[in-house]
Structure 1
Amino acid sequence: MSILKLPKTGAPAPEFTTLNQNEETVSLKDFRGKKVILYFYPKAMTPGCTTQACGLRDSKAELEKRNTVALGISPDAPKRLVKFIDKESLNFDLLSDEDHSIADKYGVWGLKKFMGREYDGIHRITFIIDEEGKLAHVMDKVKTKSHHDDVLAVLDSL
């Protein structure tokens, strides 16, 4: 496995501007004043990614109590993201990173192995960004089933 070069906690979160599922422009700076759960996932509508997204969907009220928004980001095109949102009734934005330039900035694009095959792709990593746009926490061991609870626990510990 390749060693990922993740940005360090305490550093400014890498800025980005991209399209959401509705092909609207979204920038990280749009969320100043709120905490952001920026989670990278490999592919919309796959089992693990669906479990992870639905956990955050069901935790929206808890996240709002903590002044926090969730943003999912993958290499999927906006058209696929809108299908994922519609199918699973997701209540937060999914962002398109088709050229994986944002994944590169965050150090989550790299060599992966699956069933004996090696390929480049997104590693499932979550960044918690504070109200000023600094990286408050990096979750590099993400379990899709408990991701939402793990995120809430981290938010409560900050």
Structure 2
Amino acid sequence: MYRNFAVQQPLEKFVAQLDGVQSAKPVIDGRTVRVELQLKQGADLRDIYEKIATEGTPMLGGRELQLELKKSSNEKLDQLWSSMLFKVAEAMETRQYSKIPAAMQQLEQANEGLTVHTEMDDTNVYITMSDGKASKYIVLPRIPGTLGVWPNA
């Protein structure tokens, strides 16, 4: 009960008011805070993560922040992302992050109506794909030696 009033509710209120967030539901589990997010079309994923991680620090209480993005994609975007998995996984595994924007830009140029935005910070690589109707948001943790299926991709 204390956790609900002291941490979850203030964090939920804080995240829900961020620009680009449609809804937010924080789930606190021991050493992690997982925030289930539904983003609006055109949301700035890196900015949202940064604001939660920095301005929300008192509410996180030293716990690790994890974002769980609710699906706002469509079949076309999912297929386009699937076609890039090998290139992106290879760039992540070899820490050649500069290959990701180049690969995603090629995808954008080859698919009319597709816009792709890539960003990176100290902890994650952020990719946003949009076809004007739907958006696909991807957060790839920059954890050396970790390769597998990304839960939010």
The one of the two structures with greater contact order (alpha-carbon pairs below 8 A, sep at least 6) is 1
Shared fold (TM-score, shorter chain, > 0.5): no
| Larger helix percent | 2
- TM-score scaled by length of structure 1: 0.28
The structure that has the greater radius of gyration is 2
